[in-house]
Amino acid sequence: MDVGSFVQENKRWLIGCAIGGLAFLIANIVIGSIYNAGAEQSTAAGLMRAASKNDVYPKAAVEAAREEAELLQKERERLQAELAFVPSATYQLAGKGAADEYMFQVGRTLKTKVLNLAGERDVQLAEKDVSWPPVTGLDEIRGVLFGLELLDEASQRLFAAHDAVRSANPDAMGLRAILQLKTDDRRAQRGQGRGGRPGEVSLGDYVVQERLLFQFQSDAATLAAFLEACRKPGRTLTIETVTVTQPQRLGDPVQVKGSLQGIAFKEAK
């Protein structure tokens, strides 16, 4: 298959890949803008408080500041809703007893589930290719649990994409093989202190981010459906990178490799 024909036949998912490749950069910019907006909102609030104590600021300026603060708050809420991945109780430690034992239990259950789902669909998947780093500290365990939830969600959406494609066309290839589902080892990032210059915003104070690495083989339609499924209000899987290698022969699967992130916003203090 030549490149021109491949592009023409698969425009839809190629566009999805391009969008996905930019999503992580956009996410970082937007997260920064959220908290810069928060600082601006605080400034506007300060202006209103100052105006309430004296009449230095004209009434029109105070009203404009109030409207701006309200708009910034609405924009912050909208952006958080677009980007956020809200962890479920299953993947959090509260009330679960010993942290290391609970992580082991959750990980074992999840790996079994993913392997069974793959087997039911005749999708190639080796046990060693579903993995996460060994950790011991509480913060590290919390991070791995978040990563495991991303693995759970990504696998479910990938299998759902396969099911949808095969349902529409029983002769379609769908998902052929999963070569990697691996939570990234980010212990160094989790252990970093706030640091930075006085007054500088540290994203770690506001968000928790974990990364999942993935590789799979599928037809183009399944890849497109998976990329589209990554966006879901309150459960967004932000595509950080994605590389697609076109097949050498007609009928072979595309080779997909990439990473995605989950971004959980901390509650305001």
Decide: pTM greater than 0.85: no
Helix (H, G, I), strand (E, B) or coil at 94: coil
Give the E-state strand segments of 82-174 in sequence order.
130-131
In this prediction, residue 58 carries a pLDDT of 74
Please say whether the beta carbons of 109 and 117 come within 8 A.
no
Chunked into runs of 10 residues, the chain (269 residues) has average pLDDT values of 48 48 51 54 53 60 73 70 87 94 97 98 98 93 96 98 97 97 77 52 75 97 94 90 91 94 79
In this prediction, residue 127 carries a pLDDT of 97
Please say whether the beta carbons of 42 and 249 come within 8 A.
no
In this prediction, residue 192 carries a pLDDT of 47
Residue 204 carries which DSSP code? G
In this prediction, residue 60 carries a pLDDT of 76
Domain ranges of the chain: 3-34+82-265
Torsion sign across C-alpha atoms 64, 68, 70, 71: positive
Residue 267 carries which DSSP code? P
